[in-house]
Chain A
Amino acid sequence: MATPIVDVRNLCKYYEHGESSTVALDGVTLQIEAGDFVAVAGPSGSGKSTFMHIIGLLDEPSSGQYFLEGQDVSSLSDDARADIRSRRLGFVFQSYNLLARTSALENVELPMLYAGIGSAERHRQALEELRVVGVEDVASHSSNQMSGGQQQRVAIARSLVNNPALVLADEPTGALDTKSSKEIMQIFTRLNEERGVTILVVTHEPSVAAYAKRVITFRDGRVIADGSHAKTEDLETVGL
Chain B
Amino acid sequence: MTLRLALTALLRNRTRSLLTMLGVIIGVAAVIVTVAIGAGARASIQTQINALGSNMLVVIPGSITMQGGAVRTGFGGSSTLTPADGLAIASLPGVAAVSPAVGLRVQAVAGANNWQTQLSGVAPTYTFIRGWPIDKGMFFSQNDVISAAKVCVLGQTVARNLFPDGSSPIGKTVIMRGVPFIVIGTLTPKGQSGLGQDQDDAILVPYTSAMQRLTGQTTYVQMLMVSANDPKQISMLENEINVLLAQRHRIVPPAQNDFSVSNLADIAAAASSTGAVMELLLAGVAAVSLVVGGIGIMNIMLVSVTERTREIGLRRAVGARAGLILRQFLTESIVLSTLGGLLGVIAGLVGTQLVAALAKWPMTIPPEWIIISVLFASLVGVFFGYYPARKASMLRPIEALRFE
Contact = CB atoms under 8 A, between A and B. Distances in A.
A58 B398 contact: yes
Contact of A99 (B311, B316, B322, B323): B311
A97 B324 contact: no
A97 B314 contact: yes
Contacts of B401: 58, 93, 97
Given A97-B310, A99-B311, A100-B12, A82 B319 contact: yes
Chain A interface category by residue count: 20 to 34
A85 B1 contact: no
Given A59-B398, A99-B311, A102-B12, A78 B322 contact: yes
B320 interface: yes
B317 A91 contact: yes
A110 B321 contact: no
A85 B319 contact: yes
Interface stretch (A64-72, A111-119, A175-183, A205-213): A111-119
A123 interface: no
A101 interface: yes
A79 B313 CA distance: 14
Residue with the greatest number of chain A CB neighbours at <10 A, chosen from B1, B12, B319:
B319
A74 interface: no
A87 interface: yes
Contacts of A56: 317
Contacts of B319: 82-83, 85-87, 111, 114-115, 162
A3 B321 CA distance: 28
Nearest to B322: A78
Interface in A93-108: 93, 95, 97, 99-102, 106
A158 interface: yes
B136 interface: no
A53 interface: yes
Interface residues of B, number: 22
B195 interface: no
A58 B397 contact: yes
B12 A101 contact: yes
Contacts of B317: 56, 58, 85, 91, 97
Nearest to A155: B314
B315 interface: yes
B236 interface: no
Contacts of A53: 398
Contacts of B70: none
B359 interface: no
Contacts, number: 62
A83 B320 CA distance: 8
Nearest to A84: B319
Nearest to A111: B318
A110 B315 contact: yes
Interface string B114-144: 0000000000000000000000000000000
A162 B323 CA distance: 21
B310 A114 contact: no
Contact of A82 (B12, B313, B314, B321): B321
Given A53-B398, A58-B397, A114-B324, A91 B12 contact: no
Interface string B285-312: 0000000000000000000000000110
Interface in B387-401: 397-398, 401
Contacts of B321: 78-79, 82-83, 114
A82 B316 contact: yes
Contacts of B314: 93, 97, 99
Nearest to B320: A114
4 smallest beta-carbon distances between A and B, as pairs: A86-B319, A114-B319, A111-B318, A101-B12
Given A58-B398, A86-B318, 11 more contacts: A58-B401, A59-B398, A82-B319, A82-B322, A85-B319, A86-B320, A99-B314, A102-B12, A110-B318, A114-B318, A162-B319
Interface of A: 53, 56, 58-59, 78-79, 82-83, 85-87, 91, 93, 95, 97, 99-102, 106, 110-111, 113-115, 158, 162
12 contacts: A56-B317, A78-B321, A82-B321, A86-B318, A86-B320, A91-B317, A97-B313, A99-B314, A102-B8, A114-B315, A114-B320, A115-B319
